[in-house]
Structure 1
Amino acid sequence: MRIMLTSMISRLVRRGNLKFTYADGETRTFGDGTGKPVHVRLNSRRAQWGLALDPAFYLGHYYGTGDIDLLEGDMFDLLETVFTGNPDFKYYQSGWNHFLERARYLLRWVREKNDIRRSRYNVQHHYDLTGALYDLFLDADKQYSCAYFETPEQSLDEAQLAKKRHIASKLTIGRPGLSVLDIGSGWGGMALYLARNLGAHVTGVTLSEEQFAVSRRRAAEEGLENEVRFLLEDYRNAPGTYDRIVSVGMFEHVGRPNYLTFFRKAAALLKQDGVMLLHTIGRTDTPTGNNPFIEKYIFPGGYIPALSEVMRAVEKSGLAVTDIEILRLHYAKTLRHWRQRFMARRDEAKALYDERFCRIWEFYLASSESAFRWQNLVVFQLQLAHDQQSVPLTRTYIDRDEHCLKAREGDGRGRFGGARKFPQEASL
């Protein structure tokens, strides 16, 4: 196993400065000596075996258990060395690792068959962790999805506000009183933004009891109980029909066996002249299996789709795609903010849970940032409608409506007052 592990590291790290101490205490150096030094120590033979056989799972797993330590550098430094240490990295994969990835892909339907009961368990596994944990690293509005950085200098809070503004503009809410369904409403930030700034009547559905309680409290504190209601409900049981539907960061939990169910339900919920905006993580290459570490420890039952997998379901649902935007590197920047904030308050996270939890989350945040920065992950924003005339002909309305929203956010009123309405383009 040591020979196999050494061979794998030698192929991956041709540039960089990596020291690797094996379980027997011997240390080897990989790379050309350039860049930030990183020193990995294996504290057990089981970690050595795990890294050789299945690094995609066991690097994070054994870092969490303490069988792997970093004597120099941190986890992000290690992953940067691995992902940038060989220009041909993405083409390298041993025969055994290729077999494992193929097996995971073939078994995907079993793991992702998220019925209502299983979906509730999967969501609560992650999102019902104490809210104090998320307060350590999220923005003030508790947006737990990709921010939208209009400029490199924007703060996390500014970029998360820009994300809500960008999505709201694509929903083309030109007058107050429109009904909106927020599928996967999180801690309520998107729903409250639409009610506060556009006068929308929003229904949010979530399976997280923690998020449900916080969302309802926030609506009451803002005096928006009549404009926003939250339901502890699965999207498959969402009631009514709506002028607009928005879903941000929830589709990753649907699972491929349910893609057609999701879009057919959305089509049934959306009025014939309505507009839907779906914001989801996606991959730029072909469909593949889940990341095994993320699936076990972070998001059980989740999957990040290729665009082809999403489109196949949309095409059969009765909805038409009216716009697609790919957000590149925005999530890498978002995750960097989250990781730096988490690490700055790591002792507080350890007080809430324990050292193992902190190590697992260190790896989760570092590996996720790496995947968006150097691998194949992006964010898709899909605008959908029944009727292609439901949205303006050109994309100029997005920039125009964002400027209107910026003015409304800064007018000091704190909620929609009806003084400003967006101009609407004539139907063709």
Structure 2
Amino acid sequence: MLEKTFYKMMLSKSFPFPVKVTYWDGKSEVYGNGEPDVEIVFNEKIPVTEITKNASLALGEGYMDKKIEIKGDEKAVQKIIMGAYQSADSFMRASKFRKFLPKQKHTEKQSEADVQSHYDIGNDFYKMWLDPTLTYSCAYFEDDNQNDLEEAQIAKVHHILNKLHPQKGKTLLDIGCGWGTLMLTAAKEYGLKVTGVTLSEEQFELVQKKIYDEGLEDVATVKLEDYRELGNEQWDYVTSVGMFEHVGSENLSEYFSDVYKYLKPNGVALIHGITRQQGGATNAWINKYIFPGGYIPGLPEIVTDIVENNLQITDMEMLRRHYQRTLEIWDKNFNNVRDQIQEKMGERFTRMWDLYLQACAASFESGNIDVVQYLLTKGPSGENLPMTRKYMLNK
């Protein structure tokens, strides 16, 4: 009885829209005014002690294990999580439900293990639901109604490279190069000599194969190496997409120090990453199951680390809505092949990954997290770049 009272207290003020909740005893209640279009079903009760210890972890595991079901349209999970972030009284925001997480480690060895635990699930898995470019970061939609993900991912690559105002024959380092789309586009279409670095063996092998298959050995190199171990070589341009979320709060300053070190004088960097405008944060469920060691830096933290490492900010662009749409398309693609994924990876993994994609989409939709492109210079801001942003839109 006391547990149900706790659940009612937790859920009654957690959403800015009506929600039907069906409890483990079969009884249902509607919280909020109006007719609900989503329903939370507790097939089993989750102990109060687990929820108060860490709500996101307890409820995330509950969903993975089918102790919790969320019914409604295809975005029902996203809507519930987005609503929980929007409500000031939600269990996702209330301080009484927050606990400090264990201190994370971001040694080179631990970083390698963390990256491989996520990205080395298998290229075949990612090929099932990413676009053909195998780009696993926020796309850039040039039109409000655009929904072609491959087109938007290619547009993102050009948007990043155009911001650098690159000159043919110069050099580019891509820190955390993924499956190589950005670095190889820079080599083939912008005439740059490129180096990519990754800790993922699967990514490294695929990029290396692309380089050989496309005859780019003279202009493209990929390294299976920690970015901190690149020595004293310098490049004209540095890009890094979706990378600094993995380095940890304690290593952010070192990360930007390395960006500075790897840039030639008056070099230009484009750093693209998830950022919280409300301050840095972690999530216990995502850290345990999706991105071990993950940390989303706060905007003031990022800006401080940039300027304290002698880099200057030339431009910043927020792409929150672009990442929301990217994730929604990913989740739709994922669910279009859900049966195949479940056969290959199991039901618990499939529910986990679907939850992850919808939860991230909800976080961007609610404004809980953002994604920002930082255009930086090693030297006075805007040095050797055009006076206005018009050049960034060149095709």
Which position in structure 2 is the counterpart of 1:374? Answer: 366
Q: Which amino acid aligns with 2:42?
A: L
Please give the alpha-carbon distance, in whole angstroms, between the structure 2 residues aligned to 1:309 and 1:269.
Answer: 21
Task: Sort the Cα spacing of 1:232 and 1:383 in 2 relative to 1 into closer, same or farther, 3 A.
Answer: same
Partner SS state of residue 253, structure 2? helix
Deviations 1:374-401 (A, max 9, x none): 13211111111122223222212112xx
The answer to whether the 8 A contact 2:269-2:377 is kept is: yes
Partner SS state of residue 285, structure 1? coil
Please give the alpha-carbon distance, in whole angstroms, between the structure 1 residues aligned to 2:164 and 2:111.
Answer: 27
Please give the alpha-carbon distance, in whole angstroms, between the structure 2 residues aligned to 1:134 and 1:124.
Answer: 14
Which position in structure 2 is the counterpart of 1:198? Answer: 190
Matches within 5 A, 1:21-420: 21-34=22-35, 37-46=37-46, 50-51=50-51, 54-70=54-70, 72-73=71-72, 76-81=75-80, 83-84=82-83, 89=87, 91-93=88-90, 97-101=94-98, 103-104=100-101, 107=102, 110-111=103-104, 113-154=105-146, 155-174=148-167, 176-239=168-231, 240-287=233-280, 289-388=281-380, 389-399=383-393, 402-403=394-395
The answer to whether the 8 A contact 1:275-1:391 is kept is: no
Please give the alpha-carbon distance, in whole angstroms, between the structure 1 residues aligned to 2:205 and 2:16.
Answer: 51
Structure 1 residue 23 displacement after superposition: 2.0
Please give the alpha-carbon distance, in whole angstroms, between the structure 1 residues aligned to 2:310 and 2:334.
Answer: 43
The answer to whether the 8 A contact 1:5-1:52 is kept is: no
The answer to whether the 8 A contact 1:275-1:383 is kept is: yes
Q: Which amino acid aligns with 1:392?
A: P
The answer to whether the 8 A contact 2:78-2:359 is kept is: yes
Q: Which amino acid aligns with 1:65?
A: D
Deviations 1:103-148 (A, max 9, x none): 24xx5xx21x301000000000100001111111111100100000
Partner SS state of residue 300, structure 1? coil
Q: Which amino acid aligns with 1:311?
A: V
Structure 1 residue 40 displacement after superposition: 2.4
Structure 1 residue 316 displacement after superposition: 1.7
Q: Does 1:2 align with 2:24?
A: no
Partner SS state of residue 46, structure 1? coil
Structure 1 residue 34 displacement after superposition: 3.4
Structure 1 residue 365 displacement after superposition: 0.4
Q: Which amino acid aligns with 2:13?
A: R
Task: Structure 2: give runs of 5+ residues left out of the alignment.
Answer: none
Partner SS state of residue 75, structure 2? helix
Please give the alpha-carbon distance, in whole angstroms, between the structure 2 residues aligned to 1:292 and 1:76.
Answer: 23
**Alignment equivalent of 1:15, drawn from 9, 17, 26:** 17
Partner SS state of residue 23, structure 1? coil
Please give the alpha-carbon distance, in whole angstroms, between the structure 2 residues aligned to 1:31 and 1:186.
Answer: 44
Please give the alpha-carbon distance, in whole angstroms, between the structure 2 residues aligned to 1:327 and 1:131.
Answer: 27
Please give the alpha-carbon distance, in whole angstroms, between the structure 1 residues aligned to 2:389 and 2:59.
Answer: 44
Task: Sort the Cα spacing of 1:102 and 1:356 in 2 relative to 1 into closer, same or farther, 3 A.
Answer: closer
Task: Sort the Cα spacing of 1:134 and 1:116 in 2 relative to 1 into closer, same or farther, 3 A.
Answer: same
Please give the alpha-carbon distance, in whole angstroms, between the structure 2 residues aligned to 1:272 and 1:210.
Answer: 34
The answer to whether the 8 A contact 2:81-2:363 is kept is: no
The answer to whether the 8 A contact 2:54-2:99 is kept is: no
The answer to whether the 8 A contact 2:241-2:272 is kept is: yes
Task: Sort the Cα spacing of 1:29 and 1:193 in 2 relative to 1 into closer, same or farther, 3 A.
Answer: same
The answer to whether the 8 A contact 2:54-2:284 is kept is: no
Q: Which moved more, 1:72-81 or 1:137-146?
A: 72-81
Please give the alpha-carbon distance, in whole angstroms, between the structure 2 residues aligned to 1:58 and 1:179.
Answer: 47
Structure 1 residue 299 displacement after superposition: 0.4
Which position in structure 2 is the counterpart of 1:423? Answer: none
The answer to whether the 8 A contact 2:11-2:90 is kept is: no
The answer to whether the 8 A contact 1:122-1:300 is kept is: yes
Task: Structure 1: give runs of 5+ residues left out of the alignment.
Answer: 404-428
Structure 1 residue 93 displacement after superposition: 4.9
Which position in structure 2 is the counterpart of 1:425? Answer: none
The answer to whether the 8 A contact 2:55-2:97 is kept is: no
Q: Which amino acid aligns with 1:83?
A: M
Please give the alpha-carbon distance, in whole angstroms, between the structure 2 residues aligned to 1:304 and 1:139.
Answer: 25
Structure 1 residue 197 displacement after superposition: 0.4
Which position in structure 2 is the counterpart of 1:418? Answer: none
Structure 1 residue 187 displacement after superposition: 0.4
The number of residue pairs the alignment matches comes to 389
| TM-score under structure 2 length normalisation | 0.93
Which position in structure 2 is the counterpart of 1:420? Answer: none
Q: Which amino acid aligns with 1:92?
A: D
